[in-house]
């Protein structure tokens, strides 16, 4: 139930997404998970419905919708099939910068293909080494500037959704110039721009249809593939990245909650009582319902504030992501308890959502890093503070102990 006041346009996108979720995604969700099958047919349905260009300007062949519509659609898809919703979210996240700030050549040749879904896109950002996710801010592997572009030598991305299947990659790296801090660089590369290998098959605990394998890239990226060079910064994309992560995990929670609710309505305990009449169970479900509505209200209101140009600070998007990824773990864990041994034996669908929910805690910006960002915004350092981050062992007290 969406209590947030929606425009006719938003309501109509939501209904379109719900209908695809019910008719195309839900019937195959268990098979996608069981066989770790990439959901090609499901993505085709999203493409045909015009959802690939949801946030791209109408001038560039998209639908020109706001972040709230993106959140509504993504939640609806994730309720039915979290793997499909995450691939879809990665496509929109990865094309946000190029569609906001394209060069004339990208506006003509690249963005319309991304908006129509002729090209599927994804993010090649995360690297291993405790970076806390693609968007957590740690410097990425370096490229080397050469005539006409950049040379890529053995850059390994630890997780790339739709690895090897995507037609374009939002490729995050950095450029080091002598005596300067590494400068973040981003590109919208085409699949055949670089040589790449898929280094391991994807066999995730959850989100099993995503093909989120590690990839290694080598070769040359032409300057024309650069995005963000005109001034649009990575920082400006963060609300879209975080808001859509929140929507995926809100959907995981909501989908599991609905199934649990139905299960309880239809189940009778061994002592003859309908499960839904047991007060402790009513209390558990009421608590989950409050948590769900609370998280959804937070997410939808920050998205609406963003769409209205009120420029909500990044902190509230971190809060929405934290609320929704935690919510998904709480709801799915309670479903595993209330579903009893039957859920544990995988005869109920809760365990699939339970496994999918775990990804929310580690991805995009890992849950812990999101919390650290909220904390830092609460206690900002004074602007003129020249201290470096304190490392353990760096002061006398540490050395004594
Ligand atoms: C299903 C799935 C799909 C994905 N798809 C993509 C994709 O398409 N593109 C992409 O770029 N990435 C993708 N990722 C990667 C994802 O965004 C994260 O980078 C990744 O999950 C983090 O894993 P890691 O092992 O590198 O964690 P690490 O960075 O090693 O972090 C592990 C834990 O260490 C702690 N930690 C790490 N750094 C800090 C710190 N600075 N301060 C305090 N604590 C810290 C946190 O508790 C964190 O959870 C995907 C991941 C998953 C699971």
Q: Is 213 in the pocket of ligand 1 (CB under 6 A)?
A: no
Q: Is 90 in the pocket of ligand 1 (CB under 6 A)?
A: yes
Residue 131's pLDDT band (cuts 50, 70, 90): confident
pLDDT at 335: 98
CB 251 within 8 A of CB 85: yes
| Pocket residue to mutate for ligand 1, from 132, 210, 249, 318, most atoms within 8 A of Cβ | 132
pLDDT at 11: 97
Tens of pLDDT along 254-293?
A: 999 999 999 999 999 999 999 999 999 999 999 999 999 9
Q: Is 126 in the pocket of ligand 1 (CB under 6 A)?
A: yes
Q: Is the pLDDT of residue 114 over 50?
A: yes
Q: Is 205 in the pocket of ligand 1 (CB under 6 A)?
A: no
* Closest C-alpha to ligand 1, atom 14: 159
pLDDT at 232: 67
Q: Is 248 in the pocket of ligand 1 (CB under 6 A)?
A: no
Buried b (16+ CB within 10 A) or exposed e, 297-307: ebbbebbbbbb
Ligand 1 centre to CA of 152 (Å) is 23
Ligand 1 centre to CA of 125 (Å) is 10
Ligand 1 centre to CA of 332 (Å) is 21
Average pLDDT of the residues in 21-31? 98
Q: Is 207 in the pocket of ligand 1 (CB under 6 A)?
A: yes
Residue 394's pLDDT band (cuts 50, 70, 90): very low
pLDDT at 179: 80
Q: Which of 207, 208, 212, 197 is nearest to 156 (CA)?
A: 197
* Closest C-alpha to ligand 1, atom 1: 207
Ligand 1 centre to CA of 401 (Å) is 32
pLDDT at 296: 98
Q: Is 42 in the pocket of ligand 1 (CB under 6 A)?
A: no
Distinct helix (H) and strand (E) counts, the chain: 14, 8
* Closest C-alpha to ligand 1, atom 16: 363
- Domain 122-227 = CATH 1.10.10.10: no
Q: Enter the tokens of residue 169.
A: 């990659």
- For residue 27, which phi and psi values (nearest 5 degrees)? -60, -25
Task: Considering the domain delimited by 234-378, tell me its CATH architecture.
Answer: Up-down Bundle (1.20)
The closest-lying atom of ligand 1 relative to the alpha carbon of residue 90 is 8
pLDDT at 399: 44
Ligand 1 centre to CA of 358 (Å) is 12
| Pocket residue to mutate for ligand 1, from 33, 363, 391, 392, most atoms within 8 A of Cβ | 363
pLDDT at 382: 87
The topology (CATH level 3) of 8-120 is Butyryl-Coa Dehydrogenase, subunit A; domain 1 (1.10.540)
- Please name every residue paired with 10 in a beta bridge, in sequence order, or none if there are none: none
User: Is 222 strand, coil or helix?
Assistant: strand
Average pLDDT of the residues in 114-141? 92
Tens of pLDDT along 303-349?
A: 999 999 999 999 999 999 999 999 999 999 999 999 999 999 999 99
DSSP 366: -
pLDDT at 401: 37
Tens of pLDDT along 220-250?
A: 999 999 998 876 678 889 999 999 999 999 9
Q: Is 156 in the pocket of ligand 1 (CB under 6 A)?
A: no
Kindly give, in sequence order, each residue whose CB lies less than 8 Å from that of residue 380, ignoring residues fewer than 6 positions away: none
The share of the chain scoring above pLDDT 70, in percent, equals 96
Dihedral angle computed from the Cα positions of residues 289, 295, 296 and 299, in that order, rounded to the nearest 10 degrees = 180
Q: Is 122 in the pocket of ligand 1 (CB under 6 A)?
A: yes
Q: Is 9 in the pocket of ligand 1 (CB under 6 A)?
A: no
Q: Is 130 in the pocket of ligand 1 (CB under 6 A)?
A: yes
Q: Where are the domains of the chain?
A: 8-120, 122-227, 234-378
* Closest C-alpha to ligand 1, atom 26: 128
Tens of pLDDT along 157-208?
A: 999 999 999 999 999 999 988 788 889 999 999 999 999 999 999 999 999 9
Dihedral angle computed from the Cα positions of residues 360, 364, 366 and 369, in that order, rounded to the nearest 10 degrees = -140
CB 42 within 8 A of CB 80: no
CA distance 228 to 94: 12
Q: Is the pLDDT of residue 395 over 60?
A: no
């Amino acid at each position: 139930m969406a209590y947030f006041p929606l425009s006719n346009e938003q309501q109509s996108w939501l209904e379109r997404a719900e209908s695809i979720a019910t008719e195309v995604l839900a019937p195959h969700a268990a098979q996608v998970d069981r066989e770790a099958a990439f959901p090609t047919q499901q993505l085709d349905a999203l493409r045909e419905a015009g959802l690939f260009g949801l946030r791209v300007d109408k001038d560039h062949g998209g639908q020109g919708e706001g972040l709230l519509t993106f959140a509504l659609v993504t939640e609806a898809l994730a309720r039915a099939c979290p793997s499909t919703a995450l691939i879809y979210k990665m496509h929109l996240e990865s094309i946000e910068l190029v569609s906001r700030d394209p060069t004339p050549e990208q506006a003509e040749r690249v963005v319309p293909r991304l908006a129509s879904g002729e090209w599927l896109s994804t993010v090649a950002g995360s690297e291993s080494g405790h970076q806390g996710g693609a968007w957590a801010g740690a410097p990425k592997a370096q490229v080397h500037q050469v005539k006409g572009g950049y040379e890529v030598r053995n850059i390994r991305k630890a997780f790339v959704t739709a690895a090897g299947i995507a037609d374009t990659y939002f490729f995050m790296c950095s450029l080091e110039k002598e005596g300067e801090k590494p400068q973040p660089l981003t590109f919208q590369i085409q699949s055949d721009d670089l040589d790449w290998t898929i280094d391991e098959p994807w066999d995730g605990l959850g989100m099993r249809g995503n093909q989120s394998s590690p990839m290694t890239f080598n070769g040359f990226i032409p300057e024309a593939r650069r995005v963000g060079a005109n001034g649009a910064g990575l920082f400006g994309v963060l609300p879209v990245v975080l808001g859509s992560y929140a929507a995926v995990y809100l959907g995981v929670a909501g989908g599991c909650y609905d199934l649990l609710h139905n299960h309880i309505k239809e189940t009778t305990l061994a002592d003859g009582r309908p499960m839904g009449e047991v007060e402790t169970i009513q209390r558990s479900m009421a608590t989950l319902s409050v948590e769900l509505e609370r998280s959804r209200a937070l997410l939808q209101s920050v998205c609406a504030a963003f769409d209205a140009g009120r420029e909500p600070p990044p902190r509230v998007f971190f809060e929405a992501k934290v609320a929704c990824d935690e919510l998904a773990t709480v709801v799915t864990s309670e479903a595993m308890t209330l579903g009893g041994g039957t859920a544990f034996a995988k005869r109920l669908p809760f365990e699939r959502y339970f496994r999918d929910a775990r990804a929310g805690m580690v991805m995009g910006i890992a849950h812990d890093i999101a919390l650290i960002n909220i904390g830092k915004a609460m206690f900002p350092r004074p602007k003129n503070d020249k201290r470096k981050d304190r490392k353990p062992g760096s002061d006398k007290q540490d050395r004594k102990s």
